[in-house]
Structure 1
Amino acid sequence: MAEQIEQDELEDSSAPLIEHLAELRTRLIRCVLAFTVAMVACFSVGGPLLDFLLIPIEHTMRSLGNPNPVMQYTAPQEYFFTLVRISMVCGLVVSFPVIAHQLWRFVAPGLYKNEQSAFLPFLIASPVLFLLGAAFAHFVVVPMAMAFFLGFADVPSLVAAIAQGADSVGEAVESSGIDIVFNGKVNESLDITLKMIVAFGLCFQLPVLLTLMGKAGLVSAAGLKDVRKYAIVGILVLAALVTPPDVVTQVVLFTVVYGLYEISIWLVLRVEKSREARLKAEGLWDEDIDGAGAGTDVTEADSEAGKDK
């Protein structure tokens, strides 16, 4: 009899797990279907998408005197797989709202109402900031990088024109030796653009990440201010790693990311003040607790106060 009761309890406890796994399977299938449909749709317009991504290098080549920019691919399958890569990246971006909605529908029932209201704005802000970072990279940083790299091609002709007293630097000047011209490959040029877009999109997630950590009590505004000098060094290292080796582009990335860091401090400070005001109104705030300890205790008290399904 006792064994039968234990067996029944075991079956009852395993039932919710099976239900959660079944729901997770359903959500994942919907996410995969959304991504597949978006990828196929993006592949159907892969050519225009590729032209859009190559706009920075096209404009740079035209500004350097090439009236008909041409790029090449050196393998029969290269262009096809380039379009596949573009369709995968763009398909993920297009299907992200559906994927995020499915993940939210799976996670939300297990959260308290105050946790849902705290988490949902970040779920909306994250893709918006990623798109802003991607747009900034595509329209500002990538053109600067292309101008820096391709600009080296004009240096020999510029020096030769000055040495021979040409009336116009843009005039063709005869010179000995071999002319070095840019014959860009599609996939290699696209790599630079995609890497920049992803890097800046992720950097723009900094306010979301730090503010969410501030809501969880993992970081504080005072703590972020204390480590500001280390953050500056880290941002400089990041700028050196993900940007071309020219000072202008590195300064742009440093300025943007450091500005996002300062915005994050301000957002965390607002979160702390809002939490303090709410807990004071509920009588859960202890004035004797220091700022660092208060962050943890306040978070725990906030969680207890919001346990309302």
Structure 2
Amino acid sequence: MSQPNQSTDKEMPLLAHLVELRGRLLKSVLAMLLIFAGLIYFANDLYLLVSKPLIAHLPEGSEMVSTSVIAPFFTPFKLTMVMSFFLSMPVILHQLWAFIAPALYQNEKRLAIPLLISSIILFYTGMVFCYLVVFPLMFEFFPSVIPEGIRYIPDMTDSLDIMLKLFFAFGIAFEVPIATMLLIWTGATTVESLREKRPYLVVGAFVVGMLLTPPDVISQTLLAIPMWLLFELGIIFALWLKPEKRPGASSE
């Protein structure tokens, strides 16, 4: 029978937990600031790289504009901050893991570590999918539906807000297999129950796609379909899992 770590046999006082949490938050913030310091010099280049799918599909003679005095400085600065957060995600999750790990049993740790690594990979995969697949299709679609007599001149700040929202939406959406496996592993639901609810979950995926993406059918569909497929993938992997029963939970 698995036993908890010796360090958890004696409960830490609340103040000690808070001090440890503060230290791990500071390490996460420090990692983000170091990445930001390394990227800030390339802020304009980073913005051009992220907006490349949009610029590539601008109508002939059209270009992006800035409608604010501070936007040419603040918009790349904002992008650099957000990308620093995204790139520091492995450090942040590692600090979170180090904080909660002492309370886990060995059998829980054996599953938690692969799930932690998989969640990071899936988050970045979602962002790459968004950049390579969704952006080109979406930014090719928008100019094609412009009413006659309207000039298409995207604003750099509004465009960035949309792109960051989509990056985050697809990063989170690609975590569906992890969420599915955790729900089954913790006993909150079963594979059979999820299969019975499949039609509702598919509809829910399209509703989420509608809420998290711009009001166009392309980005909504490109978010909903991967969510559905990843849900099915989560069920497949969950077939090897058994609902978790913590040692000592049934009796003293």
Structure 1 residues 185 and 113 mapped into 2: Cα distance closer, same or farther (>3 Å)? same
Q: Check if 1:54 corresponds to 2:18.
A: no
d(CA) in 1 for partners of 2:226, 2:188: 24
What is aligned with 2:153?
A: 183
Structure 1 residues 30 and 244 mapped into 2: Cα distance closer, same or farther (>3 Å)? closer
Matched to 1:212, the amino acid is L
d(CA) in 2 for partners of 1:151, 1:76: 30
**What is the deviation of 1:192?**
1.6
When Rg is computed on C-alpha atoms for both structures, the one with the higher figure is 1
What is aligned with 1:100?
A: 93
d(CA) in 1 for partners of 2:222, 2:121: 21
Q: Check if 1:215 corresponds to 2:185.
A: yes
Structure 1 residues 203 and 107 mapped into 2: Cα distance closer, same or farther (>3 Å)? same
**Secondary structure, counterpart of 2:247 in structure 1:** helix
8 Å contact kept, 2:173–2:223: no
d(CA) in 2 for partners of 1:203, 1:42: 27
**What is the deviation of 1:244?**
4.1
Aligned-residue Cα RMSD (Å) equals: 2.3
Please state which structure has a larger fraction of its residues in helix.
1
What is aligned with 2:134?
A: 141
Matched to 1:46, the amino acid is A
Structure 1 residues 112 and 84 mapped into 2: Cα distance closer, same or farther (>3 Å)? same
d(CA) in 2 for partners of 1:186, 1:239: 24
TM-score normalised by the chain length of structure 2:
0.86
Stretches of structure 2 that go unaligned for 5 or more consecutive residues are 1-9
| 1:61-80 alignment, distance < 5 Å | 61=58, 64-66=59-61, 70-80=63-73
Determine which of 123, 137, 146 is the counterpart of 2:116: 123
d(CA) in 1 for partners of 2:224, 2:92: 32
**What is the deviation of 1:56?**
0.9
d(CA) in 1 for partners of 2:172, 2:125: 10
**Secondary structure, counterpart of 1:74 in structure 2:** coil
d(CA) in 2 for partners of 1:14, 1:234: 42
State the identity %.
34
8 Å contact kept, 1:50–1:86: yes
What is aligned with 1:38?
A: 35
d(CA) in 1 for partners of 2:120, 2:92: 12
What is aligned with 1:253?
A: 223
d(CA) in 1 for partners of 2:205, 2:22: 40
8 Å contact kept, 1:47–1:83: yes
**Secondary structure, counterpart of 2:145 in structure 1:** helix
Q: Check if 1:85 corresponds to 2:78.
A: yes
8 Å contact kept, 2:214–2:220: yes
**Secondary structure, counterpart of 1:181 in structure 2:** coil
TM-score normalised by the chain length of structure 1:
0.71
Q: Aligned residue pairs: how many?
A: 240
**What is the deviation of 1:134?**
0.8
Structure 1 residues 100 and 245 mapped into 2: Cα distance closer, same or farther (>3 Å)? closer
8 Å contact kept, 2:165–2:213: no
